Amino acid sequence: MVRAMNFQRPFTPDNPHPFAPYVAILARGKTKQRPFTFDEARMSMRMILNGEALPEQVGAYLMLLRLKEETPEEIAGFVAGARDSFPEFTAPQVELDWSSYAGKRVQLPWFLLSVLALVETGVRVVMHGTEEHTPGRVYTRAVFEHFGLPIADSFETAAAQIETRGLTYLPLRVMSPALQDLIELKPVLGLRSPVNSFTRLLNPFDAPTVMQGIFHRGFLDIHSGAAQILNIPQMAVFRGDGGEIETRPNKPCPVWTTHGSADPVIETWPATLDDGHAPADEVMDVSRLAAVWEGRDEGVYALNAVIGTLAVTLRTMGRAGTPPEAWDMAQEVWRNRDRTALPLT
């Protein structure tokens, strides 16, 4: 768990704990409480990750934020504070940051085939996420382990994997053990915390294109606003299947795209399947991913999810001028893949 540094006690009104003002900002009541500024969010998160807050304070802080819901300034500040805690390392150039924190429970993670198809074309991708925090879900790390895809045990290892294989999965536990501890507080606090939201924007290798999938549509404007504050060159966020970065072929998909500090552009991608309900996969056998890649399984839902996710990504990267052009390009990328085996395995 997150450990606090030892502080001399007792604290008094004349000698308050250094972290106490941040709790007070959130807890002064309906008329006096207010959101954090960017700098306050950054400093408070930095203090938590440095062990400069007591466990009681961390619990109160997280749940007060959860109660009022985060602002774009707070999300951006939390990201900056977390990145302040990262070790120094030499990062190679990457094109795409892909977060994966939700896990899949109804359909397999078809988005991984979209990522692998991009890597095969030469796009360098950093994936990061957490795993096994919600039972009954298939997490990206488990799929990487199943197929022998590159998983990093340090920032340096991740950098080397990008150089040699064009892809890495960097677990949150490696990026920030303290952040992983905070996510694992859900069974203790009974609720998710803002950590589950802002980790998606960590972008540890400063990729110019950031993809985000969320579960609750009410966070689209918050995450787009945070991307503007962080001045991310190209970022897309949409309500993906299960909260992952995966289009749902049976539903129209509003995609919020930002370019630096400019206002978001909202494009609604049409459904590509008539059925309004996604079929549930009762087996969730990850080996089926290889069968779809190799062309032995041509499941309509799977193929539409892969190509749709590819299309939104290519559009976000600026490689296509319109959604129809992006769809055609995605189909071409998928057709031209090497079907002999999953790449990098």
**Mean pLDDT value of segment 85-110:** 95
pLDDT at 66 over 60: yes
Q: What is the pLDDT of residues 302-334, one digit of tens each?
A: 999 999 999 999 999 999 999 999 999 999 999
pLDDT at 192 over 80: yes
pLDDT at 250 over 90: yes
Which residues touch 240 (CB under 8 Å, ≥6 apart)?
A: 111, 213, 214, 215, 246, 247, 248
Structure tokens at 332: 């071409």
| Same fold yes or no, 20-84 and 96-335 | no
**Mean pLDDT value of segment 98-107:** 95
What residue spans define the domains of the chain?
20-84, 96-335
Among candidates 287, 292, 286, 294, which has minimal Cα distance to 341? Answer: 294
- Nearest-5° Cα angle at 160, 342 to 319: 60
d(CA 282, CA 120): 30
Which residues, listed in sequence order, are joined to residue 129 by a DSSP beta bridge? 100, 171
**Mean pLDDT value of segment 44-65:** 96
Among candidates 63, 70, 49, 57, which has minimal Cα distance to 179? Answer: 49
Give the pLDDT of residue 199. 96
Decide: 251 and 276 in contact? Cβ < 8 Å.
yes
pLDDT at 134 over 80: no
Decide: 270 and 252 in contact? Cβ < 8 Å.
yes
d(CA 182, CA 192): 9
E-state strands within the chain: 96-100, 125-129, 167-171, 209-214, 234-239, 253-258, 265-269
Give the pLDDT of residue 290. 97
Give the pLDDT of residue 292. 97
Task: State pTM to two decimals.
Answer: 0.94
pLDDT at 15 over 80: no
DSSP secondary structure letters along 24-77: HHHSS-TTT--PPPHHHHHHHHHHHHTT-S-HHHHHHHHHHHHHH---HHHHHH
Confidence of residue 133 (pLDDT cuts 50, 70, 90): low
Structure tokens at 240: 């993906």
Dihedral sign of CA atoms 241, 134, 125, 89 in order: positive
d(CA 92, CA 296): 36
**Mean pLDDT value of segment 168-177:** 97
Please state, rounded to an integer, the average pLDDT across all residues of the chain. 93
**Mean pLDDT value of segment 186-193:** 87
Give the pLDDT of residue 276. 63
Q: What percent of the chain has pLDDT over 70?
A: 96
**Mean pLDDT value of segment 142-165:** 97
Give the pLDDT of residue 218. 81
**Mean pLDDT value of segment 137-147:** 95
pLDDT at 42 over 60: yes
Give the pLDDT of residue 339. 95
Q: What is the pLDDT of residues 220-247, one digit of tens each?
A: 999 999 999 999 999 999 999 999 999 9
d(CA 130, CA 100): 7
Among candidates 317, 293, 310, 313, which has minimal Cα distance to 149? Answer: 293
CATH fold of 96-335? Pyrimidine Nucleoside Phosphorylase; Chain A, domain 2 (3.40.1030)
Classified as helix, coil or strand, 43 is helix
Confidence of residue 62 (pLDDT cuts 50, 70, 90): very high
CATH fold of 20-84? 1.20.970
Instruction: Examine residue 10 and say whether the peptide bond preceding it is cis (omega within 30 degrees of 0).
Output: yes
Decide: 82 and 128 in contact? Cβ < 8 Å.
no
Which residues touch 160 (CB under 8 Å, ≥6 apart)?
A: none
**Mean pLDDT value of segment 284-292:** 96
Give the pLDDT of residue 147. 96
d(CA 93, CA 163): 9
Confidence of residue 118 (pLDDT cuts 50, 70, 90): very high
Structure tokens at 110: 């078809």
